[in-house]
Structure 1
Amino acid sequence: MKHSTLIFHGDLPKLLKHRFRGENNIQYAKDRPTSIKDVIESLGIPHTEIGQILTDKSEIDFAQNIQDLDEIHIFPCMPPVNLRIPSLLRPGTIEKTAFIVDVNVGKLAGLLRLCGFDAVTVENQEDEAIARNGCHENRIILTRDKELLKRKIVMFGRLVRNTEPIGQLKEIITLYDLHDEIKPFSRCMHCNGMLAAVTKEEIIHRLEPLTKKYFDVFQQCRSCGRIYWPGSHHEKLQALIDAARK
């Protein structure tokens, strides 16, 4: 039986199924017609994690039949990934940076909002609904769920590697080169709404006595009405933003 040789580069070997994990070269039987996308995903790696596929020094797309291929080099998405430019693997584009954040990386949503990014969260939604919403709203799906990202409808997504929220934030900002798009304290960390300046007089009836006494600059969420001011927590939040920028 003839085989194709799949050569995985970068961190992709770490994402393979347990029996193959860590292996760079895998022999795959050409016993039936199968797309290279289905082959890669059958080995455990979602198509969203693939940045380029090369064979005989030519680039191919996900639809290529494995039976027509002998040696295939598979590369991960490498920063900076510019989703505003179409590629062979992803002919569609994203004009505005926006995310849909799965519950398994839920804390990442608040940190992205802190930096000014549009990041909606999902609760009690099936994978199908998350994938559909990501597609219809043209959002990048952030998750640690491989099966979610393997869905055909998913065009843009990231299998988040880091387990700590700050590390996850740095990972996403670096991958998509978002350093220049950071707009601190412009979104509500709770509902994702935009913040707007508001006078103290407009919201003074909602302030605690000490807040009334010591603070004069306020912002309010246009969606949920939550009030923000540069209190003692402000320096900690600014430190998180500075860390993400590095």
Structure 2
Amino acid sequence: MGIVIEFAHELRLFLPSRHRDGRVETAVDGTSSLGHLVEALGVPLPEVGALLLQGGPVDPSHRPVDGEHVVVRAVPRPQHTPSPPRFLLDVHLGTVARRLRLVGVDAAYGNDLDDDTLIDMANEQRRILLTQDRGILRRRKLWFGAFVRGGRPGEQFDDLLDRFAPPLRPWTRCTACNGLLTPVAKEEIEHRLEPGTRRCHDEFARCQSCDRLYWKGAHHERLREIVDDALRH
């Protein structure tokens, strides 16, 4: 007989194509948990909000029996997080990491970190691991993870702003290393500037971590558009 599981619209992208209407009939064996069945269908538990049985909440450890009808909701948006949220992005999300830093969000990133290192780093530093790898989100060891929706960096960035609503402090972080920026007098760093930059600019900031210099250069207007769009989100 089995059970019926109905998935929220936001979760249907994880389901096999034959189940994209969101309604799945599946057999139960009396030992597998509801959480196991949900993940076996392709939906990582970190993407699941409430699990409802006959209208009431149940835990992922619930063991379904024949005839039950379960509704699986997506995580609410904005999602409750430690305040303010701190992120760790996997190898495929480097552009999104730089955009988060641009608007002042604490976003760690490394392009050479394997899954185990990412999980250990996220757990030790209490960072939310952002990824498009469903496998890593199923790892029970991970304290907090989230699937990033969208195929392009702009879509992915918008998805994260919508999901987590992090406080924004544009122009306060180094887009290269995530360090904090502080204003620096032109006279103090003038010897490091190219003649054209020295002639045309007077306001500078310096990264406290990597010593990189920032000023309103040729790409500033394009970056400002990204910032302004984020602030309107």
1:175 aligns with 2:173: no
Separation in structure 2 between the aligned mates of residue 139 and residue 39 of structure 1, nearest angstrom: 27
Match of 2:52 in 1: 54
Q: Are 1:109 and 2:107 matched, yes or no?
A: no
Residue identity matched to 1:11: E
Is 2:64 the counterpart of 1:66?
Answer: yes
CA-to-partner distance for each residue in 1:5-29, whole Å, 9 max, x for gaps? 1110122122113453x13111121
Cα offset for 1:156? Answer: 2.1
**Alignment partner, residue 141 of structure 2:** 153
Which position in structure 1 is the counterpart of 2:7?
8
Instruction: Choose the corresponding residue for 1:133, options 103, 121, 126.
Output: 121
The TM-score normalised by the length of structure 1 is 0.89
Instruction: Please name the residue that 1:195 is paired with.
Output: 181
CA contact (8 A) 1:111 1:189 kept: yes
In structure 1, runs of 5+ residues without a counterpart are 84-93
Residue 77 of structure 1: which of 75, 78, 101 is its match? 75
Gaps of 5+ in 2: none
Question: What is the count of residue pairs matched by the alignment?
Answer: 232
> 2:161 is matched by which residue type in structure 1?
I
CA distance in structure 2 between the partners assigned to 1:119 and 1:69 by the alignment: 45
1:34-89: CA deviations, max 9, x gaps? Answer: 12221111111111111111112211222222238711100112312122xxxxxx
Inter-partner Cα distance in structure 2 for 1:195 and 1:161: 30
**Residue matched to 2:16:** 17
The residue identity in structure 2 corresponding to 1:206 is R
8 Å CA contact 1:48, 1:155 repeated in 2: no
**RMSD (Å) for aligned C-alpha atoms:** 1.6
CA distance in 2 between counterparts of 1:134 and 1:163 reads 24
Answer yes or no: is 1:211 the counterpart of 2:197: yes
